[in-house]
Structure 1
Amino acid sequence: MKVLIDNSNLFAGGGLQVSFSFLRDLRRLQLAWEWHIVQSVKCAENFDESTFPSNFTFYNLRKAEEISKRKRISSVKYLENNIQPDCIFTLFGPSYHKSKFPKIVGFALPYILYPDSPFFKQIGFKEKIYYKLLSILKTYSFKKYSDTLIFETEDAKTIFTNKANYTKDSFVVGNTLNEIFFAKEKFIELKITDSTSLNILFLTANYAHKNMQILPAVIKVLRNKKHLKDFKFLITLDKAELNFPISCDENIIYLGKVGLEKIPALYSNSDMVFIPTLLEVFSATYLEAMFMKKPIVASDLGFSREICGDAALFCNPTNAEAYANAIFEIFHNEKLRKELIGKGTENLKRFGTSMDRTNAYISIIKNIITKNENTK
């Protein structure tokens, strides 16, 4: 079999990590298939292809093709027509062109699914229009330019297929823990020099929907109403990215971007995990916290409920006092901490390994290729 993996539109975030994990799993499986991988500049810069056998061929796009969507589409179509694959797998879509070969596309765009998210109440009119138009364009592209969609949760699949009247094949393959958590020999120690009796991990990227701006208000409630003094939020952003009041500095450690090999140590240095995000399809942070046996304080939204089950304390997503109350309760209630950790360990069993995810992808690829051959 000949499969083209289209990673040409992956530029940042979790999508890159999933693509790298998927490729490493394919190498381990040693399938006698031809794998043709189209990589964005970011993919190529951050991934070592030199360790792959001869049945893997990599095509690295140039910066000009990354900047121009038209040029990128043209290059990908050219490769498709030259390679003549049995199947195309766009790991995270949408794709923006029709292909001559069956195309599987991954879906991970929450703003299409959750237009009632509190996030949209926090942004301006122009931004709301922008997201509305983007949602229309992307929905159109998912419908028109995919033959099969893969979602990360049942909630996402149900909402999109109903909302967009998508009647083609669709599957659910959940996200998983990064394999780094199972490779202790690769861990790199991370020293927190100014830690306290309560370290609260806020593992986040600098996106508005991650709800970072609620943090000063949470700190204020913990200090003034809960009379907590000896606590720190460990946040994976630089101070300059947030522009918080100086008064917050006493209770925040700004870590900046933390390398993947240091993430397990970051959890080990923490007492609980704070996840107030307003808009997701799936976040592996929930799974990581459960695996590392850390209680979770989370925003009370559909996606977080589906992933966490009863293994978190859920809060009104925009209510700083609710978050502070939950943090305080976990800190002072050892029985609750143990219950949440136990429920997290049990809940984690619902989610497989990266290899389970890869095998699920391969099963879908086989299914679509067979279905296409039977209709010729």
Structure 2
Amino acid sequence: MQYTQLGKSDLTVSRICMGCMGFGDPSTGQHSWTLGEQESRDIIRYGLEQGINFFDTAIAYQNGSSERYVGQALRDMTQRDKVVLATKFLPRTPEQIARGIDGKQAIAQSLDQSLQNLSMDYIDLYIYHIWDYNTPIIDVLEALHQAIKSGKIRAIGISNCYAWQLAKANALAECEGLSQFVSVQSHYNLIMREDERELSGLCAEDGIAMTPYSALASGRLARQKDHQTRRAVEDDYAKLKYDKTAAQDQIIIDRVAELARRYQVSMTEISLAWLLTKVTAPVVGITKKYQIDDAVNAVNLQLKQEDIDYLEERYQPHFLSGVMAQNTPLPKR
């Protein structure tokens, strides 16, 4: 495993972040394919043994049970200061707005609930999960800065935002003497490269770490379509993100498979090796031990520039999908 600094923070993270959305009580009804507690513990233990020290969860995953599983496992298996734990908070709900709960109060309540779920005193990286169009960004920044000052979190990140939103937030934070976002978690992989238009340039210019999710496009960059998994069959959200562009994406997926055969490695290793040339630490959703092996192997797989060019040259522009498409308001007329 290799390690690196997370943006301008003092956090040292493994080049692979274990995505923990696949951990949590499947009876919550959110996802039927998630792992129960003992299976989750086995995966987390194996990840630690392979050198992964960076774990990403969220209060939204399986009604908080992902946080509970991850927190308990890490407390039992390692020293707290040996791992970097990220979790996320959501925008205010309509119910909270109706009850008069402001943005700062909502963040404070969510943070305390996450700390309770994790049974931890602090969170290393607290991530603004989805841009809240009903809350001024200054309120978000002030709430997060106060949480850093109180010792409840060490650094802040943001997810599912436009480049202009991240630039605006960090510029405002700098002007007001508040903590800035050190990382961004966005939807970025070989078949979804829209972040290269503006977001990646901003991050390179300002030293912001990129830790993208859906690194393997919900498995599409890890196997050919004739090898279906339970998640591939049951994950309607992944289908929403990728099915409309399946034909154009398949050209790139076929090239991943071709290079995997040439290098005698897995498709996962090729896909992640490419992504690791672009970002700090991709968030890789893990539900099986062999997926950890593939991800760790990718860290040391060096692709030639001609391979990178070959993987990239047939990309076509994509429309927004997933969270970004659902959370972008229509322009005012």
Same fold (TM over 0.5): no
TM-score, normalising length: structure 2: 0.30
